[in-house]
Amino acid sequence: MEKALRALRLISLVSWLLLVSFIGLNIYLAATGQFWIYISRPFSIRYKNITKFVAYVRIINKGFFDIINLDLKASLLDREGRILCENSTRIEEVRPGADMLLSIVIYLPLEASGAGGPLNMTIIASMIYAYVFPMDIKASFKVEAPAALSSPARVLR
């Protein structure tokens, strides 16, 4: 009985130590910037009445664990919070050692031009890190609507 109790104690101790080391290692990797998601400020490009909003997302994974089910979603909202347009992309797996730069682009259609004023671009990156940490990173940026879109009269003309 004593032997069985000692074995159970050892199993428990090893399990707790493994769990604490796993959490500690992940905190260390995040704190030292070896696992990092960076969302750049979006900028706009206008060509023949179509406006493109482009944002870059940099994913650094220098740790030991995969990033799985990475979903990137960008939405453009007007002042009232209505979605004007959105775009999303999905990456199944980001392996350790990866340093990726992804661009996410939103095309603002002409029919959505009635909004006017500053717009709000929201970028959400959802992923599962190290198989047990599902996480969301959400960044919202104020973007200026193109000049033609900020004045309905000019669009109609």
Residue 6 CA to residue 21 CA, distance in Å, equals 22
**Using the rule CB under 8 A, is 5 a contact of other proteins?**
yes
Strand 119-129 to 50-61 pairing:
unpaired
Q: Which stretch binds other proteins (CB under 8 A): 68-76, 79-87, 104-112, 128-136?
A: 128-136
Nearer of residues 41 and 154 to other proteins, judged by Cβ: 41
**Using the rule CB under 8 A, is 134 a contact of other proteins?**
yes
**Binds other proteins by CB under 8 A, chosen from 39, 108, 112, 119:** 39
Nearer of residues 37 and 112 to other proteins, judged by Cβ: 37
**Using the rule CB under 8 A, is 77 a contact of other proteins?**
no
**Using the rule CB under 8 A, is 101 a contact of other proteins?**
no
- Minimum distance, C-beta of residue 71 to other proteins, in the bound complex (Å): 14
Helices (H), 32-157: 147-150, 152-156
**Using the rule CB under 8 A, is 38 a contact of other proteins?**
yes
Backbone phi, psi, residue 142, to 5°: -80, 125
**Binds other proteins by CB under 8 A, chosen from 79, 86, 135, 151:** 135
Q: Given CA atoms 56, 51, 154, 113 in this order, what sign does their dihedral have?
A: negative
Q: Give the residue from 59, 58, 57, 63 showing the smallest Cα distance to 27.
A: 63
Name beta bridge partners: 61: 35, 98
Residue 60 CA to residue 99 CA, distance in Å, equals 4
Q: Which residues of the chain form contacts with other proteins (CB under 8 A)?
A: 1, 5, 8-9, 11-12, 15-16, 19, 23, 38-41, 131-141
